[in-house]
Structure 1
């Protein structure tokens, strides 16, 4: 996915260019053992949440966060179902060009013509969905939205037009009903999901490329036979707390486990949620992490893999 977790800001990501040894982190220590990536700095325009990496140099070179606009570069994300019902609902949308016509031709990236993410505003619910495109350019997909409240949908795509660049658009949707937002899950170094444990190491710095390494184990043993998913052995989306800026992230080659590594640059200091999709035993699971970028004395940190973030099945996430 043009996932910019590109983290180009799931994709943040929440941004998508991943490069040298996917699965073997280069000199990446556990979170909490500071280790600065040796890359030129790119930082935020305005520090957030206790940022310790603010400054004019960073502001001048901050990478753009994606998903903050419903229209960009002549394209618009048109959502036909802005108020889906609680539970499983069918979402329909289209990508419109500058003339208002539905776009029907896209470039395949990471195994898909378009990547579609839905997340709750409190970042406790995350869905990486695979919509189906009709001949007229209308996309549709079933989504399980378990609670009432505010959500945001992201479309990450690249039009099949010469010279076109990847675009990430975002649009709000609401599930009617009584709503009580949940607090952001705490920062911890590991996530548990379906009997798997995923440990996060590396750095997420504002304005500076860093390497994130996620290590997958089960029953205390390394998982060394991860299966490809969306063209790699893992897919990472990062979303910034507060505005849900979408980061494009870039996976490294390698595998098949237990390590899966990515390069990511946070557009600003603040709190982020990282969602790692990985496939094993024919099923895709999601490990979710809370990370603080730019906090004094903190390189990254993260984690809970929760029931709302992880319910994926093989049919919804089949590869290829």
Structure 2
């Protein structure tokens, strides 16, 4: 009877997030797009049931909670709706919190907090407590299932992107799948993307920012570049963080066909803005 009630609630468009958390986790999990090469093991499940990527495993960024001995541990996996403190540690191969990181794109860690239906997105830079190894920041959270993605380079190591699930209890209407969207309007700016994504191939995307029909020519540097592009694959939120070459031209190689949500961060008039675009990869 309870399961039937949950299904009826979902069909009606209102979902109690804690009632569907198991279903969401079962339906959306770590995905390996290609067969595992000879000599490589499939990612092993950790003690908490999350998928772990073995060293050398070709797993898109953000799908594993642990990789190469590093693990992302949230202080709280369930938070109430509203502006909340999100805190976490990165535990290293020695079992201790990591406190030393290399700087990448002017920051020691980039954090993306995104709702599973891609209607909520924040790219922020938390503060590290060097005494405890805990990172923390505040972000606004609406009811729903969220993914926390930490992009960092442990000192002397390789770039890693680890992800963990965060649940915000409450009723919400899950958004339908988004159509292809090549134009977005942000605070009076119009952002457009030219180019196409092709799975497994290097694709060039060119972003343009205009206002009242005229090109915006006074974009300000943000984190050492003209803009930053984060691509998330619809369905499992596989993660790509791309930085431009010349201006707002981005070379992107997506791992599979499917729908990709592109979040462009750029600075203009003293404020950082985020445009949301959607492309299909053939």
Q: 1: CA distance between counterparts of 2:218 and 2:243?
A: 21
How far apart are the structure 2 equivalents of 1:142 and 1:188? 29
TM-fit CA distance, 1:267 = 0.4
State which of 274, 286, 295 in structure 1 corresponds to 2:262: 274
Asked whether 1:283 is paired with 2:271, we answer yes
Q: Is the 8 A contact 1:123 1:184 kept in 2?
A: no
1:228-239 aligned at under 5 Å gives the runs 228-239=221-232
Q: Distance in 1 between matches of 2:177 and 2:120?
A: 11
In structure 2, distance between residues paired with 1:229 and 1:236: 12
1:182 equivalent to 2:169? Answer: no
Q: Which residue of 1 aligns with 2:147?
A: 152
The higher-RCO structure (CA 8 Å, 6+ apart) is 1
> Which blocks of at least 5 consecutive residues in structure 2 are unaligned?
1-32, 36-57
Q: Which residue of 1 aligns with 2:202?
A: 209
Q: C-alpha distance in 1, partners of 2:249/2:276?
A: 15
Alignment of 1:93 with 2:88, yes or no, is: yes
Please name the residue that 1:262 is paired with: 250
Query: Alignment partner of 1:248: what SS?
Result: strand
Partner of 2:34: 45
Does the 8 Å CA contact 2:129/2:135 hold for their aligned counterparts? yes
Partner of 2:50: none
Q: Which runs of 4+ in 1 moved over 2 A?
A: none
Question: By percentage of residues, which structure has more strand?
Answer: 2
**TM-score, scaled relative to structure 2:** 0.78
Structure 1 residue 189, shift from structure 2 partner: 2.0
Q: Deviations over 1:226-248 (max 9, x none)?
A: 00111101010000011111123
Q: Which has the higher helix share?
A: 2
Contact in 2 for aligned 1:248/1:264 (Cα 8 Å): no
In 1, the alpha carbon distance for the partners of 2:267 and 2:179 equals: 25
Please give the alpha-carbon distance, in whole angstroms, between the structure 1 residues aligned to 2:211 and 2:103. 33
Contact 2:88 2:135 in 1 (8 A): yes
How far did residue 120 of structure 1 move? 0.4
Stretches of structure 1 that go unaligned for 5 or more consecutive residues are 1-43, 47-62, 295-320
Name which of 133, 136, 140 aligns with 2:136: 140
Q: CA deviation at 1:184?
A: 2.7
- TM-score when scaled to structure 1? 0.69
Give distance in 2, aligned partners of 1:125 and 1:248.
17
Q: Is the 8 A contact 2:228 2:241 kept in 1?
A: no
* Counterpart residue number, 1:225: 218
CA distance in 1, matches of 2:128, 2:182: 38
> 1:238·1:246 contact (CA, 8 Å) conserved in 2?
yes
Larger radius of gyration: 2
Give the structure 2 partner of residue 245 of structure 1.
238
| CA-CA distance at 1:64 after TM superposition | 4.2
Tell me, in whole angstroms, the C-alpha distance in 2 between the residues paired with 1:119 and 1:193: 18
**1:102 corresponds to which of 82, 97, 101:** 97
CA offset at residue 204 of structure 1? 1.2
